[in-house]
Amino acid sequence: MTASIQGKRVAFLATDGVEEVEYTEPRKAVESAGGTAELLSIKSGEIQAVNHMDKAGTYQVDKQVKNVSPDEYDALVLPGGVANPDFLRADPDAVRFVREFVVSGKPVAAICHGPWTLVEAGVVDGRTLTSWPSLRTDLANAGATWVDEQVHVDEALVTSRKPDDLPAFCEAMLDQISQPAHA
């Protein structure tokens, strides 16, 4: 079993259209391992999750991304869903936060369409990652090498393709968060 992440603070950046299971399962994994999860968004109030394209649950936002710094967190999770990362990559505060987080060297975990925000932040050039297959060309055009794997870890960057990959994604994410501070 993965080491404890007791005392670690993990930011989940999401907005309307987040794939529910890609938010809830990694969050449960973080909390079960002793970490603290906070939902950041580009808006206040609640966000509307989806199950594929159908409405699912709503989730209370803890903080707006424009009001926080990567320094406040030990790791970042970018859940997918088609609309969620598309909204995030159009928001300058979300893009700045993601860029600063990746540059910090701290763990970042992105699943499904989540890497779209990494592309917009300009942080995938020279990296190897996986995603939902339709992002392959976007990632390649941004300078990344795309692989079709259940989970891929490139330094502190953890990526997976789809909800079926969640067990491997959560395990790799927790493994990265439990490591000594990255730099």
Active-site positions read: 112-113
Give the orientation angle of helix 20-32 with respect to helix 166-178, to 10 degrees: 40
Contact 172, 158 (CB under 8 A): yes
Contact 18, 99 (CB under 8 A): no
**Closest listed residue to residue 55, CA positions, set 29, 79, 83:** 83
Structure tokens at 42: 């580009």
Tokens 């020279």, residue?
Answer: 126
Structure tokens at 176: 């990265």
